Amino acid sequence: MADESIRRMGLFEWALLVTLSVLWGGSFFFNKVALGGLPPLLVVWGRVGVGCLGLLVLVAASPSLSPRAYLGRWRDFLVMGVFNTSLPFCLIVWGQQHITSGLAAVINATTPAFTIVLANFLTRDEHGSAGKYAGAAIGLGGVATLIGTDALAGFGDHILGQAAVMAGALAYAYSAIFGRRLRGLPPLVAAAGQLTASFAIMTPVAFLLCPPWELAAPPLAALGAVAGLGLASTALGYIIYFRILGSAGATNVQLVTLLIPFSAATLGIAVLGEPFSWRLLAGMAVVSLAVALIDGRPAAALRRKLRRKLR
């Protein structure tokens, strides 16, 4: 990878990251509704298809963008379509059929750790450090605190389901590293190119393994949930994702996987009337410490203060 400058997260990037965690945390709600009327593979296909269509409409409506100018990047879009969308979506949905959502969320929270390790070897400007590795481990503990030890009770059972979700997390980590190649492209173009490639991959897979014409008409609620998944969680989500990736780097953008469980829990309390748990506050405190360690600025500021006092 090229040696490019990655600046730390500013307030704007943090705001985008929290917004992204809400959009992707909301996907759990949409998934729950959509799976009530559609099989998992068609939920993924519909999500990618709606997101792709929405982004292509935006690209076509943007006079400053010329899609033909980016056709030469089709290989990069294809790799991102596989590793950042099609593969992890399918692996995680399949894995969740065999393990609880709580355990899946804990396993998915390993993504920052995978990203730190891969970035250390595959990039020149996002090296691992003791603080980053400690932050990833603490963040995983924060997610586990939120979800509770009950979610971990089945760890070791249904090993294939757990392995599938972990493979999805690894795919996300690799895609964040590879996606640095798209830096310089407008986030709208990067997101549209990725989802177009993903839709081209998912269409024959879905039609071969789960022909939609052989199924009964799904309820409107399921179709509405797929539309929400495609437009909000996917189209808008990936525009924000590529914006953060381009300015703050692969490791920082994957911090979203630590925040998603909290966004999902908060939405559950606010929208679904789920009971409040003090674990939410405790877990959020632990994750806040984790992201501070991974971001590095609080520790750097403390070191500077100590040096000034020692002079």
b/e sequence 213-236, b meaning 16+ C-beta within 10 Å: eeeeebeeebbebbbbbbbbbbbb
What's the pLDDT score for residue 84? 95
Q: Looking at residue 293, what is its pLDDT?
A: 67
Q: Dihedral of the CA atoms 129, 130, 132, 136 (nearest 10)?
A: 140
Which segments of the chain have a pLDDT < 70? 1-8, 100-103, 125-130, 133, 140, 142, 144-157, 268, 271-281, 283-284, 287-288, 290-311
- Please give the model's pTM, rounded to 2 decimal places: 0.80
End-to-end CA, the chain: 39
**Paired strand residues for 157:** 155
Residue 249 Cα distances to 1, 118, 173, 285, angstroms: 12, 13, 12, 24
Q: Can you give the pLDDT at residue 279?
A: 64
Tokens 């990833």 correspond to: 136
The answer to whether 273 and 132 have CB atoms below 8 angstroms apart is no
Predicted local distance difference test score (pLDDT) of residue 115: 86
3-class state of residue 291 by DSSP: helix
Question: What pLDDT score does 2 carry?
Answer: 40
**Residue (of 87, 294, 36, 275) closest to 194 by Cα position:** 87
pLDDT of amino acid 226: 94
